[in-house]
Chain A
């Protein structure tokens, strides 16, 4: 069965510094996709970045980048130049390909607080 693990319940970072949020995954499928979502206090789930298992390069989207280490089964999110608005819960997720639902399997989430 596929599984996503986020081991950091909470993280603090100083404004303008970079921060890495950890995510490890477990799957026996050779084809998979990994996603990161941001959930601010307002509650919505905002898609940030995607990494495919066959992608040769790490994904980047503005200040977000994904440190994808396939052999270690890790897909850590790196946020550069943190801003106060980055304070939120962050979820790592993977598409569940079993049963053909395509549902997302989420990690437990990491709460990030950016200090001024």
Chain B
């Protein structure tokens, strides 16, 4: 049963600390998305990779967020330094393509709390 995995599932940290979230997409999927979910904003796209290349990170605060895909089986989202307003659930999703028919499969999410 192929699925997207994310670690950690929960993270509590103090303001100013570095946070790294990891995602393993479904094997064979060449498209990876990072979304953030908050009560106020709902689900919003942070970054997007195709074939490991970052194609759109316009949704990320550039001064503190960075997203990378060091290999086809790992995507990372890093926040440094973290702030309380970064508290949210961060989802990774993968798809086999970017066409309108391609389904995005989500990981379980990382619930981040910044104190």
- Using a CB–CB cutoff of 8 Å, the interface residues on chain A facing chain B are 29, 31-33, 35, 37, 42-47, 50, 52-53, 91, 95, 97, 99-104, 106, 108-109
B19 on interface, CB distance cutoff 8 Å: no
Chain A residue nearest to B111 in the complex (CB): A43
- A97: chain B residues within 8 A (beta carbon): 100
A52 near B43: Cβ-Cβ < 8 Å: no
Contacting pair A104 B108 (CB below 8 A)? no
Query: Which of the residues B35, B56, B105 comes within 8 Å of A47, measured between beta carbons?
Result: B105
A-contacting residues of B (Cβ < 8 Å)? 31, 33, 35, 42-43, 45, 48, 55-56, 89, 91, 93, 95, 97-109, 111
- With A45-B91, A99-B56, A101-B45 in contact, do A33 and B105 touch (Cβ < 8 Å)? no
For chains A and B in complex, what number of residue pairs have CB atoms within 8 angstroms? 68
Q: Is A44's CB under 8 angstroms from B106's CB?
A: yes
In contact, A103 and B109 (Cβ under 8 angstroms): no
| Residue numbers in A under 8 Å from B93 (CB-CB) | 45, 104
On chain B, the residues within 8 Å of A91 by CB distance are 43
Among candidates A43, A46, A52, A101, residue contacting B89 with C-beta atoms closer than 8 Å:
A43
- Within the complex, what minimum Cβ distance (angstroms) separates A75 from chain B? 13
- In angstroms, Cα B93 to Cα A101, docked, is 13
Query: Is the Cβ of B95 less than 8 Å from the Cβ of A102?
Result: yes
**Chain B: minimal CB distance from A38 (Å):** 11
Q: Are B108 and A106 in contact (CB under 8 A)?
A: no
Asked whether B103 lies within 8 Å of A35 as measured between CB atoms, the reply is yes
Task: Sample 12 A-B pairs with CB under 8 A, ordered by A number.
Answer: A35-B103, A43-B89, A43-B109, A44-B106, A47-B104, A50-B101, A91-B43, A100-B98, A101-B55, A104-B104, A106-B43, A109-B42
Q: Which residues in A have their C-beta under 8 angstroms from that of B43?
A: 91, 104, 106
On whether A102 and B98 interact (CB within 8 A), knowing A91-B43, A108-B42, the answer reads yes
Output the nearest chain A residue to B95 by Cβ-Cβ distance: A102
> Do B45 and A103 touch (CB < 8 A)?
yes
Q: Is the CB of A50 within 8 A of B45?
A: no
Q: Which 5 A-B pairs have the closest CB atoms?
A: A102-B98, A45-B106, A33-B100, A103-B45, A44-B108
